[in-house]
Amino acid sequence: LKKYEETRWLDVLKLQRAADVSQAWFEEIRRWRDFDPEQFAIKLLSRSKRVTHGNLKKRDPAYIERVDQWFASHMGLKDVDVLPPPMFTPFTLRGLKLMNRVVVSPMCQYSAEDGTPNEWHLVHLGSRAIGGAALVFGEMTDVSREGRISPGCAGMYKPEHLTVWKRIVDFVHENSHAKIGMQLAHAGRKGSTKLSWEGSDEPLPSGNWSLISASAIPWAPENQIPREMDRNDMDQVKEDFIRAAQMATQAGFDILEIHMAHGYLLSSFISPLTNIRKDEYGGSIENRMRYPLEIFDAIRAIWPSEKPISVRISATDWVPGGFDGEQAVEAAKMLKAHGCDIIDVSSGQTTTMAQPVYGSMFQAPFSDRIRNEAKIPTITVGNIQNWDQVNTLIVTGQADLCALARPHLIDPYFTIRAAVEQHYPDIPWPKQYLPAKPKN
């Protein structure tokens, strides 16, 4: 019996989890009452995450062809020669036109010198751009030297930073059909730490810099205690964000993302676990969002009107009494009212007390809720492993874009490979790689 239990426990756990997810779907069914019947039906069928777009295509190809035809038409595609899978439908934000729904998620490389990116960043981002993704984000890019996570983090606060970033942007634009975005951030209390492979979030043994945060609460007992920001600090950081955004404009980036997640500076204002201020910047969700919105407004005012701005948030702290899904919807509504175009929905990493529940596409429900309650486009991210999951997330209305990190680390050509495996020919290939393109 013990051997049997050891063999079967994981499968039983998965089945129980699927049942829980399915039950939760019915509890929130009002969220999707405005869906077109075609989309509502496939969302119902795939609610447990054990049934996907690809599963259904094997079982009933005619049904999925009808779904894909509806989705393509819904996206404005008429009289196409080859019906695209959902992940290969275009998407538009302001003046930004994306050729598909795949995003290379921002991934810190910890390989810059005093904030300056180098040949590694050119190859890393360039290869993923020519690999077929519609949008490639550079890593979390810090707005000041003191705003870095580690000594190896990239920045946008010196003239030489602009020069190298522009070279990378130009390469992407000249050699691919991808668009490229910059994610701006300040590390806050999670700064002055070792490179990731030397000890993630561990403080530097020497050469530390002073830290600031919403409140004087360290990331962990062994980390430095940050200084609670005063008005002068807030004004300085705002100027740093403005300068970095102006430099991003000069470099030619197509979209800007403001990092308000994962426990970094702006995130520390949003979570009630890290913001215990007694002034107008602490307390209610409106107060806790006040400073992040001041930063957003300052950037939106100088960022070109035809270019979109994304905001990444942690939709939950994964801690009772912390920031949660309901507050995330309210925060998204506030950001939308201030001109945010899309929410990049992540979760956690705001406190060491977090108890996340991992699993396949584990953050998609947060994206789904924000998209369909706050009525704003979303990017979903987190353990999205293959193109079938991307198709499923997009066609069921859980997100508008899918950001993948680790799959792009192991395969820069994830999107081209996805097109080949789905026998979809209408994706641009680099002319240098055309000999590898299947003939039919």
Find, among 20, 53, 3, 6, the residue nearest to 398 by Cα: 53
The residues, ordered by sequence, that sit 6+ positions from 154 with a Cβ below 8 Å of its Cβ are 108, 109, 112, 115, 116, 117, 121, 138, 139, 140, 141, 142, 161
Find, among 310, 312, 314, 384, the residue nearest to 349 by Cα: 314
CA distance 74 to 94: 18
Q: Is 413 labeled as catalytic in the residue annotation? A: no
| Ramachandran angles phi, psi of 370, nearest 5° | -65, -45
Q: Would you say 237 and 143 are in contact if contact means Cβ atoms under 8 Å apart?
A: yes
Distance linking the first and last C-alpha atoms of the chain:
53
What amino acid is encoded at 20 in this protein?
D
What is the per-residue DSSP string for 314-355? Answer: ES--SSTTSS-HHHHHHHHHHHHHTT--EEEEE---S-TT--
CA distance 97 to 99: 7
Look up residue 201 and give its two tokens.
């979030």
- DSSP single-letter state for residue 108: -
| Ramachandran angles phi, psi of 101, nearest 5° | -105, 15
Per annotation, catalytic residue among 63, 110, 157, 264: 264
Residue 196, SS3 per DSSP: helix
Longest Cα–Cα distance of the chain, Å, equals 67
CA distance 295 to 315: 19
CA-based radius of gyration for the chain: 22
β-strands 309-314, 255-260: how paired?
A: parallel
Q: How many other CB atoms are found less than 10 A from the CB of residue 335?
A: 26
Could you give the count of Cα atoms lying within 13 Å of 27 in the half-sphere of its Cβ? Answer: 8
- Is residue 196 exposed (0-12), middle (13-18) or buried (19+ Cβ within 10 Å)? middle
The residues, ordered by sequence, that sit 6+ positions from 26 with a Cβ below 8 Å of its Cβ are 47
- The residues annotated with a catalytic role in the active site are 264
